[in-house]
Amino acid sequence: MAYDPNAPGNNPGGMPPPNTPYGPTNYGAPPPPPPGPSDPYQSQQPYNPYAPSTPSYPPVPNPNSSPAYPSQPGISGAGYNDPTYVSPSAQGYQAPPVQPGPSYPGYPPVNQGYPQQGFVPPPQKKGSSGGKIALIILAVVVVLAGIGIFSASAYNTSQGNAHATATAQAQGAKATANVQATATYMASHFPFSSKLILNDSLSGNNPAHGWMSDKYCSFSNSMYHASETKTSTFVTCSAKSTNYTDFSFEATMQNFIGNAGGLVFRGDEDQQNYYLFLVFYDGSFGFYSYSTSSHTKKIITGNVDNFSITKPIRLGVTAQGNSFKFFADGQQIGQATDSTYSHGQVGVAVDNDALITEANFSNAKVWQL
């Protein structure tokens, strides 16, 4: 129940006066639920369990007058009339907002309506702007990374190509320098050519060269063996399938016993015409021409430095036109000119002056000039 602070004998700070007459209490249905947000101007009645079953609504208060307080059931007060409900639709104007009435202990404020609810828009679905930004950033990073990798790859490829080009150029320059150095060396050193046209180890008879094989010339112990037992004669062992004009020719002589041994070139075994280059046991050498008509003709003689009959010696000759040069172990030991023979076979020879002369030969080579 509510207390009227303006009624005589009611003291909010003390007990109610004794023997206060109360009228009969009517228990009715509870008041209707408060109006919803669709009617924000509808007045609210506080819940009163002692109210009559038919709800009564107070008149709309005037904002310029004092608020009206509802009367309690069974209590009559001076100056109060029964409230008369006037529908807001019957008014020619919209009702002003409800002013809150006084509050009493234990009861809600009088005429306190529900606050007006504004339109709350439905929650909007959050966009994926953050995810889109992350994807854009990731795409930019991937693109930049790809550009960086491509640039690095292009740079590395360019650097690799430049390095490969520089290496190739350096190798080409080195090869050119080597060729030039080789050409320079060949121009001044035996055999004066790099065009090797015969290379025979003389470990066996090569049919392409046609080395002679008889009691004077034979292959033994992987070398070509030449020997002569008749005094004051010489023997030639030629490769009869050869025929050279301008060339350098060399072979290694070892196991030398007797008077002399050496090379034969521009020869003709059938006609017995030759040039002979012979080194003697005492280290002297001689260049001769021989024919059946004029026999042996001495052209020049000389000496081989540091010659030893017990060591192998590499003998060489260069024949170019009418000019001849002679070599021992790659060192020139003499030169001469002669026009007797212009071309012919190559081979080896020994000369006997006493009991026997023999020698073994290996590694015959011919370079074309």
Find out whether 262 and 349 touch, Cβ atoms under 8 Å: yes
Q: How many CB atoms lie within 10 A of CB 281?
A: 15
268, 258, 272, 271: which is closest to 356 by C-alpha?
258
pLDDT of residue 134: 77
pLDDT of residue 367: 98
Rounded to 5 degrees, what are φ and ψ at 158? -60, -45
Give me the long-range contacts of 93-100 (CB less than 8 A, separation at least 24): 94/41, 95/41, 95/43, 95/60, 96/60, 96/63, 97/41, 98/41, 98/43, 98/44, 98/61, 99/61, 99/63, 99/67
User: What's the gap between Cα 322 and its chain centre?
Assistant: 64
Q: How many CB atoms lie within 10 A of CB 55?
A: 15
pLDDT of residue 58: 54
253, 246, 244: which is closest to 225 by C-alpha?
253
Predicted confidence (pLDDT) at residue 161 exceeds the cutoff of 50: yes
Q: What is this structure's pTM?
A: 0.56
Hey, what domains does the chain have and what are their CATH numbers?
A: 15-61+98-113 (no CATH), 196-368 (2.60.120.560)
The bridge status of strand 273-280 relative to strand 260-268 is antiparallel
pLDDT of residue 254: 97
Question: Is pLDDT larger for residue 106 or for residue 358?
Answer: 358
The two structure tokens encoding residue 47: 């819940």
92 conformational bin, left if phi > 0, alpha if psi -120 to 50, beta if neither:
alpha
Question: Is pLDDT larger for residue 156 or for residue 192?
Answer: 192
Percentage of the chain beyond pLDDT 90 is 47
Q: Over the stretch 191-244, which tens digit does the pLDDT of each residue have? A: 999 999 999 999 999 999 999 999 999 999 999 999 999 999 999 999 999 999
Q: What torsion, rounded to 10 degrees, do the Cα atoms 118, 122, 126, 127 define?
A: -100
Q: Over the stretch 247-298, which tens digit does the pLDDT of each residue have? A: 999 999 999 999 999 999 999 999 999 999 999 999 999 999 999 998 999 9
Q: What is the mean pLDDT of residues 329-347?
A: 98
